[in-house]
Copies of this chain bind each other. A is one copy, B any other.
Amino acid sequence: MAALPPLPDPFSELVGYHLRRLSQLVMGDLAERLDSLDLRPTEASVLFVIAATPGVTQSDIGRMLGIKRANMAPMVATLEARGLVSRSAVDGRSQALRLTAEGESMRARARNATRENERRSFASLSDAERAALIDKLQTLWEKLEG
């Protein structure tokens, strides 16, 4: 088996590169864990938002999670077709989204998969380090979103 060649110099100064590389690996592990539920990471995040804020519209979810309306539409349609999410009219154009009983059960399982993903990915960090890292990352992306 060939040894893993080391990463050459220019990358050692690039936060963005290491960010992307770690994100790719973490999301890949999460995708594997969610695969048995036939759920994509993005779909899981949508279930989490609906559970936390019942009656939310899909436009609002898109704004919270940074997902375009055009991409929310088919995803919510799929979740509804699977019986995980229900819609009820708010007004003539908006629809309130809620989890069905089956959707709530799916959310709970997705939550477990996500917790295991976090444990496996960040086991080497103390609770304080993890919290500090979250804070740093969140501060950075919120600055870029404006």
Q: CB of A22 within 8 A of chain B?
A: yes
Q: CB of A93 within 8 A of chain B?
A: no
CB–CB A25/B141 < 8 A? yes
Known: A18-B134, A125-B140. 7 other contacts (CB 8 A): A4-B145, A5-B63, A9-B52, A10-B48, A10-B52, A18-B138, A24-B66
Taking chain A's interface residues, is the majority helix, strand, or loop, or is none over half, making it mixed? helix
Tally chain A residues at the interface, Cβ within 8 Å: 60
A133 and B6 CA atoms in complex are apart in Å by 19
A72-80, A83-91, A98-106, A115-123: which lies at the interface: A115-123
CB–CB A15/B130 < 8 A? yes
CB A122 to nearest CB in B, in angstroms, measures: 5
